[in-house]
Each structure stands twice: as C-alpha cells, then as structure tokens.
Amino acid sequence: MMLALVGATHRTVPLALRERLAFTAEQAADALARFRDRFPGREGVLLSTCNRVEFYAAGEAEVAAPPVEELLSFLAECRGLEAAALAPVLSREHDEAVVRHLFSVAAGLDSMVLGEPQILSQVKQAWTIAQDNRTAGPLTAGMFQAALRTAKRVATETALGRERVSIPSVAVAEFASSVFERFDDKRILLIGAGKMAAETLRYLRAAGGRDVVIVNRTASRADDLAARLGAKPASFDELERELAAADLVVSTTGSSEPVVSLDLFDRAEAHREGRPLVVLDLAVPRDFDPRVGERPGVWLSCVDDLAEACDANRRSRQRELPRALAIVDEETSRFMGDMHHRSTAPVIEQLRAGWSETGEAELERLFRRLPHLDDRDRDEIRQSFDRYAAKMLHPPLASLRSESHAGPPHGLLDALKRLFNLKD
C-alpha cells in the first residue's frame, strides 16, 4: 500500500465529535512532528476544516504507508480520544480511492456546499504545513499538485465555478436574511479575521451591510481586514460591549475553546434591551456556547444547521456534477498511471545500466582492435551504439508505460526481470 487515508467529514461524524477532532494550525504542526517520529520515512498531510479532518499518508517499497488502523489510532491519540469511539465513524481508504477522494475534496465536490471555492485554499494550507514540518515528500507532492490541477479544471470547465457559492454565502442568504429584511441599518459584529471572515464580510457588503465591526485576538489582523474591506476594528477586550451593540454576529475563529461563553453573553444581553440577535457560528469547534441559542430573541446557527440549505444548493447544481466527476476520474487515472510507472523506475534503471555496461565493454574491445580510429570516428561509433541501445530498449519501456496506465504492471515487470536476469 502506497497511499492511505483516515478521515471524518460532516456526512458521517456529528458536530460534537468533529469539534473534538479539529486541529488548529499549531496543533496540526505538532501532530505532524509526532507522525514523523512515529513513522519515519513516511509522508503525511493533515487537512482540518470546519467540515472535515483527514490524514493522508504515503510511503514506498519497504517504508509503505502505515496501515489505516494505525493511522486511526494515531489520530485519536493526537486529540486525546479513544480509538474505539472513532473506529465506527471514520472512513478508511487506500491507494486509488485516496487519490480520487482528495481530488473530489479539492474541487469542492465533497463539500457541504457543492463547488465551494474556500476548500482549495485549505488544501493548500494543509500542504504548506506538511512541507514546513518535513512530512511532505514526492508522493504527496505529486498527489496534491494534481489535486490543485483537478480543482482548476473543474472550476474552468464546468459551471460549478461560475458562482462563488460557499458556506458564508449560504449563511448570509438563507439564515440571516430569513430574520432581517435589510442589513444597511444593522450593526454587524465579525469575530475573527481569517479567510472565512473576509469572505463573509464581502457577502454582507453585497447584501447591504455597512456598519461592521471586527474583533480578533490578534489586533493587527483585525486592523488589516478592516482597512481592506472598509470596516471598523475593535479590541478583543471590548467583545462584551460589541455583543451588546450588535444585531448580527458572525464568528469564524480557530479557537479550540468557546469564545463567547454563556456568562459572557448573559452580561452582554443585560444591555441589549430585548433586541433580536442573529448569530452565525461558522467555526469548528463552535465559538458560541450552544445554550446561547436558547435565549429569547436569539437565532443561533452553526455549520450543521446549514445542511438543508446546502442540500438544496447541491440539487440545483447537480447537472454540472457528471462533468466534474468525469474530470476527477480522468485526473485520477492520469495520476495513478504516473504512480505505477514510478514503481517501474528501478527496473528501467537496471535495464539501461545493463545495456550501457555491455555497450561500453564492447566499444572498448572494438577500439582496442581498431587503434587507428581518431576521436571523431570513436564518437560517431559510440553515438551509433547509444542510438541502437535506445531503439532496442524502447519497446519494453513503452510497454511498461502503457501497462502502468492500466494498473500496476506486476506481470510485465516480473517477465522483464526473468528475461534480463535483473535482481530485486
């Protein structure tokens, strides 16, 4: 097995468990460092978003990818969970199924909102973290580069990429708009200053939102986003006051603990004078204590509440799905062919080395018998030998490449090893 995957997605794992499984960027880096020590010589990439946590592993020859059950136990250990609790809900894949899944994920075909573009940047970030922590390698490099190529093809060759439909857009269009008819007279509080926060703010601007305040633990990030998108930054210490003033709150932080506890909200609520409040908690783990949603006049929605709206979105875009899936299949076959051909490299190297060694020996024998040849004559003869060797090797090498695109060429490899007496 060269490739392995264990993963949890919004389709199979409830939000409460996904919250416990989720990794921040720092936690992902720590997990990859542990993976590097636990499985030396293997490659690993950890993808953690609000809707999925997936670990991709790869290895070759004697250092093959770890068995999926070992990966499952490792993932559970990293988050302080019992492997037995994860075993029934985590998916397990290997080799070609891993490739097809990653390509579908990168293209937004496995997202809660079909075709959402944000997942691609999250895939890129996961790959960057793996590179920074030295768990990336040639197999994962090829696979993730091919995933980006697949996503680009789906975006440009189908209508899935024509409209930027994402979780923030659905949250604003389906949930916030169901409570508020207009946003130009509403005070909007944005907690968090990452990519999802920026995207949400753009949709709110398009919907008419003007009075926007951004709060973030790192003040400089709130300042930067506010300057870029025409909002007002506020200190994180002012969160209680801003909660009291807000009509709509969108929270998108990467905090591992609730940002708005029930006590904090109760203190803010005492100054709200009964005004209605819409909260779009788009973070995993959740930023708001779920009990906040039980307060009168509060509409609290989390990512799983978007499922029905996202399903409706998916149905309306289904007609583009067959073409997108065909692209994924094409790119999967292309990558698997390249990967199988990669496995033939040692045999090809031995074939070429054997022919080269034999050719050099024969040339030296010929040159000793023909001492009158000058350098120009010798070079001409040597080039003829090289061309002859290349032509003789071309048919078996071409057959290897052709067989590789149909699957692992084990039969042909064994035959070539026996015919040319090649060693493992």
| Residue in the block written with tokens 């875009």 | 317
Six-digit token pair at 352? 């070429």
| Three-class SS state of 362 | helix
Question: How many Å apart are CA 117 and CA 21, to the nearest integer?
Answer: 23
Catalytic residue among 50, 78, 302, 310: 50
Q: Is 159 left (phi over 0), alpha (psi -120 to 50) or beta?
A: alpha
Cβ atoms 245, 212 nearer than 8 A: no
Our answer to whether residue 50 is catalytic in this structure is yes
Report which DSSP code applies to 49: -
- DSSP letters of 185-198? TSEEEEE--SHHHH
Say whether the peptide bond before residue 285 is cis (omega within 30 degrees of 0). yes
For the chain, state the CA radius of gyration: 28
Instruction: Give the number of other Cβ atoms within 10 Å of residue 3's Cβ.
Output: 24
Nearest CA-CA partner of 184 in 203, 210, 157 = 210
Q: C-alpha distances in angstroms, 268 versus 64, 118, 232, 298, 313? A: 55, 32, 20, 13, 35
C-alpha neighbours within 13 Å on the C-beta side of residue 285: 17
Cβ atoms 207, 250 nearer than 8 A: no
Q: In the chain, what are the helix, strand and coil shares in percent, each to the nearest 5?
A: 60, 15, 30
- Catalytic center residues: 50
